[in-house]
Amino acid sequence: PMGSERTEIRKRQMATTPETPAAQAQLSTGNRGSNACCFCWCCCCSCSCLTVRNQEEERARRTSHELQAEGIPNCEESPAPTLEEVNAWAQSFDKLMLTPAGRNAFREFLRTEFSEENMLFWMACEELKQESNKSVIEEKARLIYEDYISILSPKEVSLDSRVREVINRNMLEPSQHTFDDAQLQIYTLMHRDSYPRFMNSAIYKDLLQSLSEKSIEA
């Protein structure tokens, strides 16, 4: 009968062609073995290599911040701020940045936001401006570039492409003003972005309250 012939033909086809789509997928998966995720073409979120990579990147970020805190002085040397000084910080960002005590308090806040490198860069630029010896200027400029401008540094500050081009040109012959444009951009960034949050932070409010209480007691 025709039906039995068709059944027989189908059986022979299945015997000679075992690689059904499901079987092919299984074989393909088996061939890739334990490293299959490293060749995942779809880059799906369930791919284990991406999970491992994300964990490693997060660990690297934490490590960079830990390393950043090591070997860096916690603060500039300065007398304790007065109540009048702390009140003045609320009047303008310039007044905050004018005193070591203000910079120390602001830097402490930036550290909680993992953006302390902005203050460190600004301070390094101020220090560079005080130098007059050519060889010292060149060495300090190189260190500033490596620490805060290089994309390989964990302390890299955020600068636009125009300012980076200016720095690269200036580095051909470094001077006290090699980073002036970059310093201004970072100063503006701290002023507009971080300063308002600092004024509403527990660090500032607690300091203000502590000095106010001492003033009342006196």
* Contacts of residue 154, Cβ cutoff 8 Å, sequence gap at least 6: 64, 65, 67, 68
Instruction: Give the pLDDT confidence of 127-144 residue by residue, as tens digits.
Output: 999 999 999 999 999 999
DSSP class per residue in 3-42: HHHHHHHHHHHHHH----HHHHHHHHHHHHGGGGGGG-SS
Gap between the Cα atoms of 40 and 9, Å rounded? 38
Instruction: Give the pLDDT confidence of 21-41 residue by residue, as tens digits.
Output: 444 444 444 444 444 443 333
Q: Which of 131, 132, 129, 130 is nearest to 177 (CA)?
A: 129
Gap between the Cα atoms of 157 and 190, Å rounded? 11
Q: Which helix (H) or strand (E) holds 143?
A: helix 134-144
Domains with residue ranges and CATH for the chain? 83-217 (1.10.167.10)
Contact 19, 27 (CB under 8 A): yes
pLDDT value at 207 more than 50:
yes
Gap between the Cα atoms of 162 and 151, Å rounded? 15
Contact 158, 140 (CB under 8 A): no
DSSP three-state, residue 133: coil
Match 């890739």 to its residue by tokens. Answer: 32
pTM of the model: 0.66
Instruction: Give the pLDDT confidence of 131-179 residue by residue, as tens digits.
Output: 999 999 999 999 999 999 999 999 999 999 999 999 999 999 999 999 9
Contact 179, 169 (CB under 8 A): no
